[in-house]
Amino acid sequence: MLKPTNLGALIETLSEVASGRITGPDSGCFRHALAADAFNYFLSKIVPGLMGFLSVLVFVRMVGVETYGRYAVVFAFVMAWASGLAGWLGQGILRFQSQWNEPGNSANFLRSAGAGTVLSVATGVLAVGVALPAFAVQKGWPMLISLELTGGLIVYTVVIARFQAALQSAMVLRFEVVRSVGCFLIPVALLWVAHSRDYRLLLLGISLGYWLPLLGMLFSRTKTGAEPEHRRGSRLSIGQRQILGELWQYGWPVALWMLCQQGLLVSDRYFLQRYSGYSEAGVYASMYDVIVRSFSLLLMPVTLAVHPFIMNRWNAGNRKHALQAIRAGVRYQFLMFVPIGIAMAVFAPWISRLVLGKPNAGAEGIVLPLAAGGLLWQVCLLAHKPLEVLCQTKRMLVGIAASLAVNVAGNWLLVPTYGYRASAYLMVASASAYLILLSVLTPGREFRDAVEGAAPRSGAEVTASSRVDFLETSS
């Protein structure tokens, strides 16, 4: 694995591409700007979506359902910790980077983000190293592969957040294409060369796929001799440490939120392999990966485009545009689901046979609930934006913790009797519980007052007041 010092240099070098003055679209054409970013994000999901769909079909046929189940359980644990440890920094970058857009402020912000990434990777590696043997999921030297994957996931997530916050959707597109192709071709090549069905080769290939675009960018900048000015000195200044502390103050509830959200996947797979075996976990995981990734391909571009736009407009004082973007995003997602849901209900037997390679009546029955659950969780990602812009992330944490409790309790009680059908319907139940709690936890009057009382500000006014706004929203 990379040493912490090299890792810090890597994240700073990669993230510098996204640095610079951040300016939002003109208020008169926000719909056009939103549509343009959504289209770029849609393109960034086409290849990853297709490669993800193809990878499940190929992996299941190359290693079998049981081995795929082992891979899915380990990957769920790694993804949960990586999402949590990268989430506080990634969401903090999306929320506040547009307030630190002057050259000097941007360099300090970037330096703080690099240090935060090093801390996140170190903590993530330690957490995964403890969690995997504690739950009897993985032991011994194969854990080194999982630790490498953890580091790659964290660094990749932070870099993508920098590109999103800078409204550089083209860079997101480039990284996602390279990453998704690598995460398919490298595991297939390893399995073919080794003539093995070992799930650890899948994990190794996925890990190398995430590191591929990161190392490619680092090599490219090293070859050109580019050297970031902000890399001088090895210690953070007092101001940079303060920025990092403020990012943590805002982001730690979001980190726990992401850990809980990924914990939903861990809950499904862990209880299935415990009570029904790895074969049942493999059937559910393969169906989940194909169907939910299909929704990611179609619906996630809306979320990815809306999120940075909301934060950019909110920080600039155009808060009515931010509210319009939230409403428009939810409306578009529901409208897109109608034909998709009907098609999945009609073709459920064909979908399950395509994924598993043979008919499976039980798998047919979970196609529609998985599709509905995928929609509801995409809606959740937009429905809690009012709490994000108001910096009420602790309320978000309360909601997702309750949702996770519903999921864990339901899997514990129902999986021994109903198998993976229970897990599929619990996905819908946990998302519905979160949406209901959001309606209670969101301070409607405070949000309306914030929207109606704000006046649009110029770029100079945003820059001049960014420090004050940052401190106020972090308190």
Cα–Cα distances (Å) from 151 to 14, 100, 171, 176, in that order, read 15, 27, 21, 17
- The rounded percent of the chain whose pLDDT value lies above 70 is 77
Q: How many domains does the chain have?
A: 1
Q: Is the pLDDT of residue 332 over 70?
A: yes
Rounded Cα gap, residues 125 and 7, in angstroms:
13
Reported for 337-342, long-range contacts at CB under 8 A and 24+ positions apart, including other chains, are 337/299, 337/371, 337/375, 340/294, 340/295, 340/298, 340/371, 341/368, 341/371, 341/372, 341/375
Q: Is the pLDDT of residue 461 over 70?
A: no
Using pLDDT thresholds of 50, 70 and 90, give the confidence band for residue 210. Answer: very high
Q: What is the mean pLDDT of residues 145-154?
A: 92
For 32-61, how does the pLDDT look when each residue is reduced to its tens digit (9 = 90+)? Answer: 655 566 666 666 667 777 888 888 889 999
For 173-204, how does the pLDDT look when each residue is reduced to its tens digit (9 = 90+)? Answer: 888 889 999 999 999 999 999 988 889 999 99
Using pLDDT thresholds of 50, 70 and 90, give the confidence band for residue 407. Answer: very high
Q: Is the pLDDT of residue 13 over 60?
A: no
For 59-111, how does the pLDDT look when each residue is reduced to its tens digit (9 = 90+)? Answer: 999 999 999 999 999 999 999 999 888 888 887 887 776 666 666 666 777 78
The pLDDT of residue 6? 45
* Residue-range definition of the domain harbouring residue 329: 4-223+238-464
Q: Which residue has the higher pLDDT, 235 or 122?
A: 122
Asked whether residue 473 is domain-assigned, the answer is no
- The rounded percent of the chain whose pLDDT value lies above 90 is 32
Using pLDDT thresholds of 50, 70 and 90, give the confidence band for residue 156. Answer: very high
Asked whether residue 30 is domain-assigned, the answer is yes
User: Beta-carbon neighbour count of residue 190 at 10 Å?
Assistant: 18
Q: Is the pLDDT of residue 457 over 50?
A: no
Q: What is the mean pLDDT of residues 357-373?
A: 90
Asked whether residue 243 is domain-assigned, the answer is yes
Asked whether residue 369 is domain-assigned, the answer is yes
Asked whether residue 113 is domain-assigned, the answer is yes
Asked whether residue 470 is domain-assigned, the answer is no
Asked whether residue 17 is domain-assigned, the answer is yes
Asked whether residue 100 is domain-assigned, the answer is yes
Of 79, 29, 64, the closest CA to residue 207 belongs to 79
